[in-house]
Structure 1
Amino acid sequence: MEIKFKGTAIKTNGSFPKVGDTLPEMKLVKADLSELNTKDLKGKKVVFNIFPSVDTAVCAMQLSKFADKLKDRNDVDLVFASLDLPFAFKRFCSSEGIENAVTASDFRYRDANKLGIVMEGGPLNGLHARGVIVTDENLVIQYAELVQEVTDEPDYQAALDKV
């Protein structure tokens, strides 16, 4: 797919999932270095966020805003995935007081590549693009947004409306 980084066209490694698809099975690494398998998220709604790095302003904002808006929802798993090391996620969430986010690094398995979000070209070549997927309790996708300009925030309200 084609997206933009600061106005310059770049491609991703495939097609982003669509509404009606099932979230693919992926293995990721949580902040405590244990594994998260997306199939284990079944049973709750999921807001699955993908982005380049928690150490950038827009990515940090995305994590903080979703965590704040969903802090009282016990029926939702809020997941964030990037190629950041688990330690970066742990540091960020600790310093921001975020306790309701499941952070998951794709550094070990690169399974999030299945989402077609790896940027090919541009200064962030190889990192994940920005996207949000909302699933129901059976991991069927109810909302899918691959943000067309990587430096833009996702449409929070559109995603939250599907939770």
Structure 2
Amino acid sequence: MQITMKNAPLSTNGQPPVVGNKLPDFKVEKADGTIVNMVELITRPTLISVVPNINTSVCSISTKRFNSEVDNYSGINFYTISTNTNTEQKNWCAAEGVKQMELLSDAHHDFGEQMGLFVEDAGIDARSIWIVDTDKKVLYQELIQEMTDEPNYNAALEFLNEITK
């Protein structure tokens, strides 16, 4: 997939799943160092926000915005996945006061590679939003073409409102 960062062209390692397809199996690391796979994470409808680097402004803004919405959606898992280490993520959470949204580390790039989101030249995953059901089927996706742009929060949250009625 072709994307840009500050208008410079980049490519991901493949094509991400489309709406209607199931997510590929992947592994990520929790804050406590535990490696978990997709089946362990997707236990109810889930919103996954993928950010390239939690220590950059847009990634920080995006994560804090979704964190502020978590309590409005009982029965929904909210995760942010970045290529930062779990230590970097814990430090960011402590500094920013993020307590509700669970950050997951893709420092080993398994998630990004399996999802077709890994940008090898930059060592990051492409910014995107995913909403999946308990069968791991993609119900909603937003693939952000310019990595410095924020996602469409309202569209994702409106979609969550629709599926939780």
TM-score, shorter chain, exceeding 0.5? yes
C-alpha distance in 1, partners of 2:62/2:140? Answer: 16
Query: What is the deviation of 1:74?
Result: 2.7
**Residue 13 of structure 1: aligned partner:** 13
Counterpart residue identity of residue 46, structure 1 = T
Q: Which moved more, 1:42-51 or 1:13-22?
A: 42-51
Query: What is the deviation of 1:63?
Result: 0.6
**Residue 55 of structure 2: aligned partner:** 55
Counterpart residue identity of residue 59, structure 1 = C
Fraction of identical pairs, as percent = 30
Q: Does 1:143 align with 2:140?
A: yes
**Residue 102 of structure 2: aligned partner:** 102
**Residue 119 of structure 1: aligned partner:** 119
Residue deviations 1:123-154 (CA, integer Å, cap 9, x gap): xx221111111112222111111100000001
Counterpart residue identity of residue 55, structure 2 = D
Runs of 4+ in 1 over 3 A off after TM superposition: none
Q: Which runs of 5+ in 2 are unaligned?
A: 161-165
Query: What is the deviation of 1:109?
Result: 5.6
SS in 2 for 1:70: helix
Query: What is the deviation of 1:158?
Result: 1.4
C-alpha distance in 1, partners of 2:136/2:99? Answer: 23
SS in 2 for 1:151: coil
- The 1:58/1:73 distance shift into structure 2, 3 A limit, reads same
Total equivalences in the alignment: 160
